Amino acid sequence: MNKPLRIALTKGRLEKDTVGLFEKLGYDCTSVHEKGRKLILPVPDGNLEVVLAKANDVITYVEHGVCDLGVVGKDTIMEMNGKFFELIDLGFGKCKFALAAKKGCDFYSGFGVKTIATKYPNVARTFFESKGMDVEIVKIEGSVELAPLLELSDGIVDIVETGTTLKENGLEVVEDICSISARFIVNTVSLKMRHEEIEELVKRIKECL
Ligand code: PRP
């Protein structure tokens, strides 16, 4: 038998739905449920090895070919812009990128350069460039919603899922940027070298969605 295909899954938000998908495909994911502190988890009946990682690292591992496959949000793909193939929109992990600001603030009024706080500076830059609007971008790692409340920024570019975080902090969506969902990605060399196995897995996933 070939060595296992190694797949990097994003920890956190997408984890439950991703493991659910692999179980729906018929794989025994006990090792993932009972992972403890173990980092490489075998799924022997699928000849797979699962690595659970942070979203940015999923892309890094797949780009470098140390993982053949990955499941990661379109948000991270748009921000990191790596070299890999995006094969399937998995349809879960649905949310959107949006520009948000304090409720009723009339974001686009005035002539001064606006300051935007975000965890996604590339996405924010591309969005405002498409409008021909000059903005100052401040990278924030944690709860970006804090930035306008602390008067650090005029607005934020962030993920909105239920809208609860915005609402509970007196913010509102100014403009939707784009929809986001989880994607199945593959290393470019793996797709060539292990084409049949990957094609078969892709086919099975598509039938399952
Ligand atoms: C994201 C995002 C918002 C929140 C939006 O953060 O940055 O803060 O979710 O979700 P809502 O519209 O359902 O309220 P996340 O919870 O992923 O945590 P993070 O700050 O660690 O990215």
**Domain layout of the chain by residue ranges:** 5-93+181-208, 95-179
Looking at residue 19, the DSSP 8-state letter turns out to be: H
Side chain identity at residue 204, one-letter code: R
Is it the case that residue 52 has pLDDT exceeding 90?
Answer: yes
Closest residue CA from atom 2 of ligand 1: 159
- pLDDT confidence bin for 119, thresholds 50/70/90: very high
pTM, two decimals, is 0.94
- Say if ligand 1 is within 6 A of residue 157 CB: no
* Cβ neighbours, 10 Å, residue 36: 7
How far is CA 124 from each of CA 43, 55, 60, 192, 200, rounded to the nearest angstrom? Answer: 38, 18, 21, 34, 37
- Say if ligand 1 is within 6 A of residue 162 CB: yes
Q: Which atom of ligand 1 is nearest to the CA of 143?
A: 20
- Assigned superfamily of 95-179: Periplasmic binding protein-like II (3.40.190.10)
Collapsed DSSP state (helix, strand, coil) of residue 49: strand
Q: Determine the distance separating the centroid of ligand 1 and the alpha carbon of 160, expressed in angstroms.
A: 7
Q: Determine the distance separating the centroid of ligand 1 and the alpha carbon of 166, expressed in angstroms.
A: 10
Note whether 96 and 159 are within 8 A (CB). Answer: yes
Same fold across 5-93+181-208 and 95-179:
yes
Express each pLDDT in 144-197 by its tens digit: 999 999 999 999 999 999 999 999 999 999 999 999 999 999 999 999 999 999
Express each pLDDT in 7-41 by its tens digit: 999 999 999 999 999 999 999 999 999 999 999 99
- Say if ligand 1 is within 6 A of residue 159 CB: yes
CATH topology of domain 5-93+181-208: D-Maltodextrin-Binding Protein; domain 2 (3.40.190)
